[in-house]
Chain A
Amino acid sequence: MIEVRGLTFDYPTRRALEDVNFSIEPGSVTALVGPNGAGKTTLLRCIAGLGQPMRGAIEVHGVDVLARPREAHVHLGYLSDFFGLYDELSVRRGLEYMAWSRGAHAVDVREVAARLGLADYLESLAGQLSRGLRQRLAIAQAIVHRPAVLLLDEPASGLDPEARLQLGDLFRELHRAGMTLLVSSHILAELEHYASDILILDAGRVIDQHGVRTERPTRSIELTLSRPSPGLDEALRRQEGVGEVHAEGLSARFDFTGDAAAQQDLLALLIREGHPVCAFAERRDSLQDAYLSRMRRPS
């Protein structure tokens, strides 16, 4: 759905993106993460056709963004991190303008407003809305023409926890509706709730891209003891499918290649051998763990 090849973007005194290559599958929700100044906003603006790169090619929904930006905009929705609204227009008129300006004349803006929880505010002026409602209106404006791809730059910044939760629900709904989302955010715990892929950008380069929920052959198991058990390390290492064991205090972590039945057998064995196991479960790395682990690794 999004193809970026050899993208290099320069500002007068520094290079913001360096030979960026990646592709994003249709219907995915990709978390775009990276430290401050990594080039996330520049990348999103380039994909949105708002910046002219020094080199490279960008294709969205089969349209060359750099050669035919206006055509690409029909398939694109973009919400900037610092967006503005037409404060003197009502919600209804703001949405109508955005739909018409993207060639979507047959759109029922009431439906879009209802989807974003704005049905009761259709005749309210945008300037009179709360921050959370303004954010929703901005997202409604970005999706009112039903784009195939939605680009969001820090969409949750400044929102209260409840509004963030609702935002996550909305993104899941858009994902279910088949929209492809590329979301830049620093709040990885939130991205985890809806992201299917992660794209890590650092110093203007893509340093990693992978699926968040990719099934791996090795699982990480974490167990907790109720009291110290000196022979635990040895007992674990003897078992088939157990990899390197990291034990510390009352807890231990190890890689395990066995399936769920083998995991059950292992637990039963440990208890039979008298190890006081009080917790035994697969440990799933959070998005934050994956990100930090990748950032600590040398490129």
Chain B
Amino acid sequence: MNPELRRNLWLEIGTQRLVAMPVVLVLVFALAYLLADTVADGWHAVAVSAAVAYGFATLLWGTHMAGDAVLGEVATRTWDWQRMSSIGPWTMTWGKLFGSTAYAWYGATICLPIFVFASLDDPKIDTSWWLGMLLAAAVLAHAVGLIWSLLLTRNQGARGQLGQRRSSAYLLLLLILLVVLPWISGPFQELATWYGRVETGRGFALVSLALFAGWAVVGAYRLMRIELQFRNRPWVWLGFCAFLMGYFAGFVPAGMRLFTGYSIAMLLTLVAAFTTPRDLLQLRRLGRAVEGRDLATVLQQTPPWLSSLLLAGLVGMAVLVTPTVICQGPFCIDGFALESLVVIAMLFLLRDLGILWLVSLGGRSRRPELAAVVYLIVLYSILPGVLGALGIDAGLALLLPRPDLAPAWGILAAVPGPLVVGVLLWRQARRRAGDPQPAVGGREAPGTRR
């Protein structure tokens, strides 16, 4: 048996808890049944309450536990024991994914059979579809929780600020629910048009959710590999980028697909930059590997944000050289030059990445990601608002992408931002260039002066 799963079962499944869960659930189901007017309504109420109880157990409690799976180990200083084990990354991933959430799944194993039994003859409930959705949603939520836990653990700053950052897992949980709930109750229940084919919304939603859940598990596994000192090459991350680009491109008209893919690649670049550590040492290793033409190390040391930035650059060039780019339907803005937007968007992306790195390298902010977000909010909304209120419209193009201007002017106006940030970043990097200072031991290292 997976040792990590067994350890979690020891911790999560005690006699008292084993008894408490079914007792509470049976009482909830009995109450739902008794409050209904008719027998049919009673079984419907039981089915709904079973689905809701399942949601509480898995989506809320389970995600919280998965989000705590690694952070909790770091906080109690037991993570090194696990990193020193010989458990492989996949075994560790599924051991934590299903082990830390074992009690939630225990509740699920009671709720789901009750749900199926109570809804089988219910014309208002598509039992098999709901069953699939509930299972996929739980796996997705737990895997994202584990990813969150691993990302925070990886972030060097998180090691000293665990108490403060752990609470932000709840914000992520809220985000997950916001993403998952529309699938369950939103427009996908009707029809979905994807790459011109009309699909049943329900089937499409189920397959989509299952695919995202699968990718989330893969993501958790890949991050676990890094924690366990394995080195990842960028292919899987690039595969995920390609999947998302292809997936979302299917919802837009044919002429906009490449540009949609470009936008997704840029968005993923930002997401990766904000969620993974800005590791100067990794860039230094990457630089040395490039100098030494060591391709294997180059691939291992390339951070995900850089991979997706390069991908975005390639797709952006494809957008520029593809003559079929057209403007269609609701995606069209009058006077909108898609080609200039591609360049302008890239320049703004470079500026934003530069700001994030600048704040991170500055070392003055305990939460550089948050500080960078504040700066970006100021640059994208507050400052333009102030300039607009003062009637200085000419300055707006420096702060906001303006594809509505003549292409040359729009691009020219977007250049100063990344240029200024680039110069500041260059100066910052020069201050920290070369090999770091020697260790601060009890006395000077031979031949050095502190």
B335 CB-CB contact with A under 8 Å: no
B442 A37 Cβ-Cβ under 8 A: yes
Per the bound structure, the CA–CA distance linking A34 and B76 in Å amounts to 28
Tell me if A228 is interfacial: C-beta within 8 Å of chain B.
Answer: no
8 Å CB contact of B443 from A82, A87, A101, A295 = A295
Cα distance A16–B439 in the bound complex, in angstroms: 5
Which one of A115-123, A199-207, A236-244, A253-261 contacts B? A199-207
In the bound complex, do residue B437 and residue A15 qualify as a contact, i.e. CB atoms below 8 Å apart?
A: yes
A13-B432, A101-B86 are contacts. A299–B446 as well, Cβ < 8 Å? yes
- The reply to whether A97 and B84 contact each other, CB–CB distance below 8 Å, is no
Q: Contact flags (1/0) for A84-108 with B, using CB distance below 8 Å? A: 1111110001000110111100000
Number of A-B contacts (CB under 8 A): 143
A192-215 interface code vs B (CB 8 A; 1 in, 0 out): 000000000111110100000000
| Contact of A89 with B11 in the complex, beta carbons under 8 Å | yes
* A38-B441, A49-B229, A86-B78 given; A103·B7 CB < 8 A: no
- Residue of A38, A73, A202 near B86 (CB, 8 A) is A73
| Contacting residues, chain B, for A201 (C-beta < 8 A) | 441
Question: What are the residues of chain A within 8 A of B38 when measuring CB–CB?
Answer: none
Is the CB–CB distance between B442 and A36 below 8 Å?
A: yes
Name the distance in Å between A53's Cβ and chain B's nearest Cβ: 10
Residues of B within 8 A of A73 (CB): 84-86
- A12 an interface residue at 8 Å Cβ cutoff? yes
Question: Closest B-chain residue to A99, C-beta based?
Answer: B3
Residues of A47-62 whose CB lies within 8 A of B: 48-50, 52, 54
Find out whether the CB atom of B281 lies under 8 angstroms from the CB atom of A18: no
Distance A295 CA – B4 CA, assembled complex (angstroms): 46
Does A124 touch B at the CB level, under 8 Å?
no
| A70 to B92 alpha-carbon distance, docked (Å) | 12
Q: With A and B bound together, what is the CA distance between A201 and B444 in angstroms?
A: 12
**CB of B80 within 8 Å of the partner chain:** yes
| B229: A residues at CB distance < 8 A | 49-50, 52, 69-70
Give the docked Cα–Cα distance between A83 and B78 (Å): 7
B442 touches which of A10, A38, A88 (Cβ 8 Å): A38
Chain B contacts for A295, CB-based, 8 A: 442-443
A89 touches B7 (CB 8 A): yes
Q: Roughly how many angstroms separate A97 CA and B437 CA in the complex, as a whole number?
A: 41
Q: Is the C-beta of A74 less than 8 angstroms from some C-beta in chain B?
A: yes
In the assembled complex, the CB of B16 is this many whole angstroms from the nearest CB of chain A, namely: 13
Q: Is there an interface contact between B441 and A50, defined as CB atoms closer than 8 Å?
A: no
**B230 contacts which chain A residues (CB < 8 A)?**
69
**A102 surroundings in chain B (CB, below 8 A):** 85-86
A17 close to B (CB within 8 Å): yes
A109 at the interface (CB under 8 A from B): no
Would you call A54 and B285 a contact (CB within 8 A)? Answer: yes
- Kindly identify which residue among A35, A80, A100 contacts B6, using a CB–CB cutoff of 8 Å: A100
Q: Are A70 and B76 within 8 A (Cβ)?
A: no
State whether the Cβ of B440 lies closer than 8 Å to any Cβ in chain A.
Answer: yes
User: B278 — nearest CB in chain A belongs to which residue?
Assistant: A12
Contacting pair B4 A101 (CB below 8 A): yes
Q: Is the Cβ of A15 less than 8 Å from the Cβ of B85?
A: no
A84 touching B76 in the complex, CB below 8 Å, given contacts A36-B442, A103-B86, A202-B442? yes
Contact of A204 with B446 in the complex, beta carbons under 8 Å = no
Q: Per-residue 0/1 for A1-41: is the Cβ within 8 Å of any B Cβ (1 yes, 0 no)?
A: 00000000011111111100000000000000011111100
Flag if A205 contacts B86 (CB, 8 Å). Answer: no
Given A83-B80, A84-B76, A103-B86, also A97-B439 (CB < 8 A): no
Does A70 contact B439, Cβ atoms closer than 8 Å?
no
- Find chain A residues with CB under 8 A from B441 CB: 34-39, 201-204
Question: Does A76 make an interface contact (CB < 8 A)?
Answer: yes
The residues of A that contact B7 with a CB separation of less than 8 Å are 86, 89, 93, 97, 101
Q: How far is the CB of A119 from chain B (nearest CB, A)?
A: 21
Closest chain B residue to A93 by CB distance?
Answer: B10
Cα–Cα distance between A85 and B3 once the two chains are bound (Å): 16
Is the beta-carbon distance between A10 and B86 smaller than 8 angstroms?
A: no
Complex Cα gap A77–B3 (Å): 18
Distance between Cα atoms of A204 and B87 in the complex (Å): 32
Residue of A nearest to B446 (CB): A299
A171 within 8 Å of B by Cβ?
no
Closest beta carbon of chain A to B224's beta carbon, Å: 12
Cα(A50)–Cα(B227), bound, Å: 9
How distant is the Cα of A295 from the Cα of B6 in the complex, in angstroms?
50
Indicate whether A203 sits within 8 Å of B445 (C-beta atoms), given known contacts A12-B280, A15-B435.
yes
B84, A10: Cβ atoms closer than 8 Å: no
- B78 and A84 contact, CB distance less than 8 A: yes
Chain B residues with Cβ below 8 Å from A233 are: none
Docked pose: A48 CA to B86 CA in angstroms? 12
Given contacts A83-B77, A101-B3, contact A204 B281 (CB under 8 A): no
Q: Which residues of A contact B436 (CB under 8 A)?
A: 10-15
B143 to chain A, nearest CB (A): 22
**With a CB–CB cut-off of 8 A, which chain A residues contact B228?**
69-70
Contact B6 A97 (CB under 8 A): yes
Produce 1/0 per residue, B420-441, CB < 8 A to A.
0000000000001001111111
B331 at the interface (CB under 8 A from A): no
Complex-state Cα separation, A97 to B3, whole angstroms: 6
Kindly state the separation between the CA atoms of A74 and B7 in the bound complex, as whole angstroms.
19
- Tell me whether A74 and B86 are in contact in the complex, defined as CB-CB below 8 angstroms, given that A88-B11, A202-B445 are known contacts: yes
Please pick, from B77, B88, B156, the residue contacting A80 in the complex, using a CB distance under 8 A.
Answer: B77
Contact of A14 (CB < 8 Å), options: B6, B81, B156, B438: B438
Known A-B contacts: A13-B437, A86-B78, A98-B81. Give 5 more (CB < 8 A).
A54-B284, A70-B88, A101-B87, A202-B445, A203-B448
25 A-B pairs (CB sep. < 8 Å)? A10-B281, A11-B281, A13-B437, A14-B438, A15-B435, A15-B436, A15-B439, A34-B441, A35-B441, A35-B443, A69-B230, A70-B229, A73-B85, A76-B84, A80-B77, A80-B80, A84-B81, A86-B76, A97-B10, A101-B87, A103-B86, A141-B81, A202-B442, A204-B439, A299-B446
